[in-house]
């Protein structure tokens, strides 16, 4: 039963993604390719569509042109229907002057008009760079029935990794009693996924106060959540079960791609139509595997031409892998050409890059390298 | 500027046996992801003809399912449209279900605003820019133009198509059926360019000539009786004729060849189609694929050679598929061996079965069959 409450999703997609190196030189991190045919942001947007959330704002700042064009009117995710509104929200000039988004919370504050117009009961805050398939309905229901001011989606992480996340301590009713943003000495392994549902009236009040606080970094994790905790507001944890990855580094991006190529079964793109991921479909012939080509333990998208030997890799649209090549454990992004005789291992190959004839790249190495011949 | 509209004519489609029993040829799957009709609709779109009427003879539901709102094909989704038209009276009286009667029933040509119409069938696949052809038509001053192709394989292909002869000015003086007696011939691609006045003449003539005639018959009658000038315009591009079942299969498999494929699919001439948001194809650790097209959503765990695998097909471990075409959502079970087989949609073949056709005698497995 869908909730009768109105939910608006705001997807934070403005980060620079420095740790993805030159992959994000001309592309915002959420627009980076993933799993042969998707872009990272397809995941949270499709999750919204599949949860019946029809109003979605995309907050962008860094290299927004490509991302803005990709989002369009939301048609790719069906969010151009009569009850839908898909809007890209970049920083703008106002009477008060022109401002960059000063933090995740400030990005929302600067678009308070968008939310006031939409007039939601709840606001769902999402990150544009997480890979997971879900319906938010269960979390929304929990938020509604519990009467919480904010519900935060949490996942158990490896204790050694815990200091990379916002860490929470809960009581026996999953009410959050302590919150540490990227702590040196984490007190638990319950990490925030950066997915929040706020009651809009409460959030609005906190954003307005935060806006004029000179000591604030205007960040949800650093400022808004700790302030609400200090005010003894009701903060609830929602325990997420399933596959979830932050693909903010080359290694994690590579690993998440491999999870799908090697069909590990944790993130299944092939079952359950109710959590399908939607994306842009290009008009090209199906992928072609040549007479001497070979492809195993891999995924490949339409328009790819595979004449060489591919193992444990991700082959995107329009990729050409010529004869006598060997491609292993690679994430080959759209339009890449791997020329005759080249051998390449454990690499992410940036869009439209060309791997020269007979070159040997990263053979026998365990560490993932980025190859980018376009935006160096 | 002249206003040009397009008619995609499905009234004269050939029958390909079992696979066109329950669907129009236009809606038949091609190369694992297209529908036959995509080529003609894309030709209209790429030629900037944005008002297209599909003259449907039967199976309007499969056509509508494939085309959807048409927004995948038109340039401007407000100004452009693809409308499906049927001849309602003809549904209960099949001999009268002609393309001319379809136009007649759906349009008052006096009221309808256009200067020229391009009428093209679905079954000659090509990348055809109509714009230079329209320019030639206007330049010729003829009432009607027919687009033809000079071919060297008329003894094997284009059987039962119209073979044209011309006067020195390029006007058609004779049209006769190709029965395969010569290799060389100028065959009609059944693509007509007409002015509004000429289309009106075609429509108005049925009451005097024959109510059973399609446009193709009426144009042949005009040529025979010298009623109006019919100009021949040559198309020198690549054409894939889909006229018989074996032709459909052989031409599909020929397109596995890169050089053949590059003649049909031209740069800057995309072939649009309905998209399905299927995930990329997944290859297992024992997959062995050679010289084949694999569409998205397919899961390949077995061996596939010289074949075309459509969307969401599963080829289980140990299965071997050779010289075959497998349509959407069929499942080829463990250790199954198929050679020269066409599996229609949603077929399921259980473990260990061995099914064989012969060259030019393809074994066709009907939609939804459980074997």
Residue A272 scores a pLDDT above 80: no
CA atoms of B32 and A331, how far apart (whole Å)? 25
- For residue A2, what pLDDT is reported? 57
Convert the pLDDT of each residue in B116-174 to its tens digit: 999 999 999 999 999 999 999 999 999 999 999 999 999 999 999 999 999 999 999 99
Of the partner residues A298, A300, A302, the one whose CB lies closest to the CB of residue B33: A302
State how far the Cα of B151 lies from the Cα of B147, in Å rounded to an integer: 13
Residue A372, token pair as written in the block: 């980018």
Every domain range in chain B assigned CATH 3.90.550.10: 4-264
Query: What residue of A is the nearest CA neighbor of B270?
Result: A283
Phi, then psi, of B100 in degrees rounded to 5? -65, -45
Number of A–B residue contacts, CB under 8 Å: 94
Architecture of B4-264 per CATH?
Answer: Alpha-Beta Complex (3.90)
Contact A297 B256 (CB under 8 A): no
Pairing type for strands A190-199 and A150-156 reads antiparallel
A76-80, B68-72, B224-228: segment of lowest average pLDDT:
B68-72
Torsion of CA A305, A311, A316, A321, to 10 degrees: -30
Q: How far from A98 is each of A64, A216, B21, CA to CA, in Å?
A: 17, 19, 65
Nearest to A52 by CA among A124, A118, A2, A125: A2
Beta bridge partners of B290: B305
Quote the percentage of chain A above a pLDDT of 70: 99
Nearest-5° angle of CA B236, CA B239, CA B240?
170
Q: Which CATH number applies to A7-261?
A: 3.90.550.10
Partner residue facing A298 (CB), from B265, B283, B309: B283
**Set of chain B residues whose Cβ sits within 8 Å of the Cβ of A277:** 277, 279
Beta bridge partners of A314: A299, A331
Residue A257 sits at the vertex; the CA angle it makes with A68 and A280, to the nearest 5 degrees, is 35
Residue B76 clears pLDDT 90, i.e. is over it: no
Say whether pLDDT at A265 is over 80: no
Alpha-carbon gap, residue A60 to A69, rounded angstroms: 12
In tens, the pLDDT along A9-61 reads 999 998 877 888 888 888 889 999 999 999 999 999 999 999 999 999 999 98
Helices (H), A189-291: 200-211, 225-230, 250-261
Distance from CA of A316 to the nearest CA of B (A): 8
B358–chain A nearest CA distance, Å: 22
Please give the model's pTM, rounded to 2 decimal places.
0.92
Q: Which of A332, A159, A172 is nearest to A236 (CA)?
A: A172
Distance CA B39, CA B358 (A): 29
The whole-angstrom distance between residue B240's C-alpha and the CA centroid of its chain comes to 9
> How many Cβ atoms from other residues are within 10 Å of residue B22's Cβ?
13
The domain segmentation of chain A, as residue ranges, is 7-261, 283-371
- Cβ atoms within 10 Å of A119's Cβ, excluding its own: 10
Q: Where are the beta strands (DSSP E) in A14-121?
A: 33-34, 38-39, 55-59, 85-89, 93-94, 97-98
Q: Where are the alpha helices (DSSP H) in chain A?
A: 42-50, 64-71, 104-109, 112-118, 137-146, 200-211, 225-230, 250-261
User: For chain A, which residues lie within 8 Å of any Cβ of chain B, measuring from their own Cβ?
Assistant: 35-37, 263, 269-270, 276-279, 281, 283, 285-302, 314-315
CATH 2.160.10.10 fits A283-371, yes or no: yes
Which residues of B lie inside 8 Å of A (Cβ-Cβ)?
A: 31-33, 256, 258, 261, 265, 270-273, 275-277, 279-297, 299, 308-309
Whole-Å CA distances, A221 to A16, A187, B91, B201: 18, 16, 66, 75
List of chain A residues whose C-beta atoms are within 8 Å of the C-beta of residue B280? 35-37, 269, 299-302, 314-315
Nearest beta carbon to residue B281 from set A285, A293, A299: A299
- Inter-chain contact A296–B281, Cβ cutoff 8 Å? no
From B280, which residue of chain A is nearest by alpha-carbon distance? Answer: A301
Q: B99-106 vs B196-205: helix axis angle to the nearest 10?
A: 110
Residues of chain B positioned with their CB less than 8 A from the CB of A36: 280
Cβ–Cβ below 8 Å for A291 and B261: no
Q: What local confidence, expressed as pLDDT, does residue B95 receive?
A: 87
- Contact assessment for residue B125 and residue B243, using Cβ atoms and an 8 Å cutoff: no
Residue A270 in this model has a pLDDT that exceeds 90: no
Cβ–Cβ below 8 Å for A291 and B282? no
Mean pLDDT of B184-211: 95
Question: Is B279 in Cβ contact with A37 (below 8 Å)?
Answer: yes
Contact B291 A290 (CB under 8 A): yes
B282-365 placed in CATH 2.60.40.10: no
Band the pLDDT of A3: cuts 50, 70, 90: low
Chain A residues with CB under 8 Å of B73 CB are none
Mutation to test the A interface, candidates B68, B262, B278, B280, most A Cβ within 10 Å: B280
- Chain A residues with CB under 8 Å of B258 CB are 288
Q: A1 pLDDT band (50/70/90 cuts)?
A: low
């Amino acid at each position: 039963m869908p909730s009768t409450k109105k939910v608006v999703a705001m997807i934070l997609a403005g980060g620079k993604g420095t740790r993805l190196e030159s992959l994000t030189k001309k592309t915002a991190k959420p627009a980076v390719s993933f799993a042969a045919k998707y872009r990272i942001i397809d995941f949270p947007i499709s999750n919204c569509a599949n949860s019946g959330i029809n109003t979605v704002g995309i907050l962008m700042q860094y290299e927004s042109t490509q991302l803005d064009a990709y989002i369009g009117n939301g048609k790719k995710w069906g969010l151009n229907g009569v009850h839908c509104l898909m809007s890209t929200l970049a920083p703008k000039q106002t009477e008060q002057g022109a401002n960059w988004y000063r933090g995740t919370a400030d990005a929302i504050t600067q678009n308070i008009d968008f939310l006031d117009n939409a007039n939601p009961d709840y606001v769902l805050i999402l990150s544009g760079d997480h890979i997971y398939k879900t319906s938010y309905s269960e979390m929304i229901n929990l938020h509604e029935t519990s009467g919480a001011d904010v519900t935060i989606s949490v996942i158990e992480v490896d204790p050694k990794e815990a200091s990379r996340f916002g860490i929470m301590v809960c009581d026996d009713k999953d009410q959050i009693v302590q919150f540490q943003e990227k702590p040196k000495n984490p007190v638990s392994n319950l990490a925030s996924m950066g997915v929040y549902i706020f009651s809009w009236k409460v959030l609005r009040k906190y954003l307005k106060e935060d806006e004029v606080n000179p000591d604030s970094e205007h960040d949800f994790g650093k400022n808004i959540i700790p302030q609400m905790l200090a005010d003894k507001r009701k903060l609830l944890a929602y325990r997420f079960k399933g596959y979830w990855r932050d693909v903010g580094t080359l290694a994690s991006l590579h690993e998440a791609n491999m999870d799908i190529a090697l069909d590990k079964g944790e993130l299944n793109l092939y079952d359950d139509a109710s959590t399908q991921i939607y994306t842009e479909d290009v008009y090209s012939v199906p992928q072609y595997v040549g007479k001497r080509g070979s492809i195993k333990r891999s995924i490949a998208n339409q328009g790819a031409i595979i004449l060489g030997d591919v193992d444990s890799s991700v082959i995107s649209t329009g990729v050409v892998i010529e004869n006598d090549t060997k491609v292993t454990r690679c994430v080959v992004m759209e339009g890449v050409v791997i020329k005759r005789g080249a051998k390449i291992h454990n690499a992410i190959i940036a869009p439209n890059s060309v791997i020269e004839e007979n070159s040997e790249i990263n053979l026998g190495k365990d560490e993932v390298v980025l190859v980018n011949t376009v935006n160096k | 500027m002249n206003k040009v509209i397009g008619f995609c004519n499905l009234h004269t489609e050939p029958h390909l046996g079992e696979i066109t029993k329950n669907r129009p040829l236009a809606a038949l799957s091609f190369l694992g992801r297209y529908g036959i009709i995509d080529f003609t609709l894309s030709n209209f779109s790429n030629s900037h003809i944005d008002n297209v009427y599909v003259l449907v003879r039967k199976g309007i539901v499969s056509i509508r399912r494939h085309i959807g709102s048409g927004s995948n094909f038109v340039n401007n989704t407000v100004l452009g449209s693809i409308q499906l038209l049927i001849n309602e009276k003809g549904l209960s009286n099949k001999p009268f279900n002609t393309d001319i009667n379809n136009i007649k029933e759906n349009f008052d040509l006096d009221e309808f605003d256009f200067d020229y119409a391009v009428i093209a069938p679905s079954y000659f696949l090509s990348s055809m820019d109509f714009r230079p052809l329209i320019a030639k038509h206007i330049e010729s001053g003829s009432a009607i133009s027919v687009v033809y192709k000079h071919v060297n394989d008329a003894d094997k292909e284009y059987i039962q198509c119209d073979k044209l002869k011309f006067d020195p000015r390029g006007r058609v003086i004779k049209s006769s059926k190709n029965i395969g007696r010569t290799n060389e011939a100028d065959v009609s691609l059944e693509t007509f360019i007409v002015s509004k006045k000429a289309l009106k003449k075609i429509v108005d003539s049925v009451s005097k000539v024959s109510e059973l005639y399609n446009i193709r018959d009426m144009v042949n009658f005009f040529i025979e009786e010298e009623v109006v000038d019919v100009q021949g315009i040559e198309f020198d591009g690549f054409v894939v004729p889909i006229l018989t079942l074996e032709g459909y299969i052989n031409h599909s498999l020929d397109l596995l060849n890169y050089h053949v494929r590059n003649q049909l699919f031209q740069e800057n001439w995309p072939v649009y189609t309905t998209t399905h948001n299927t995930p990329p194809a997944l290859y297992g650790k024992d997959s062995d694929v050679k010289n084949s097209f694999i569409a998205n959503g397919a899961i390949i765990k077995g061996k596939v050679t010289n074949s075309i695998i459509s969307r969401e097909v599963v080829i289980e471990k140990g299965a071997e598929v050779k010289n075959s075409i497998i349509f959407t959502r069929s499942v080829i079970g463990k250790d199954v061996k198929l050679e020269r087989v066409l599996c229609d949609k949603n077929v399921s073949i259980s473990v260990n079965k061995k099914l064989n056709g012969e060259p030019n005698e393809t074994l066709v497995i009907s939609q939804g069959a459980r074997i």
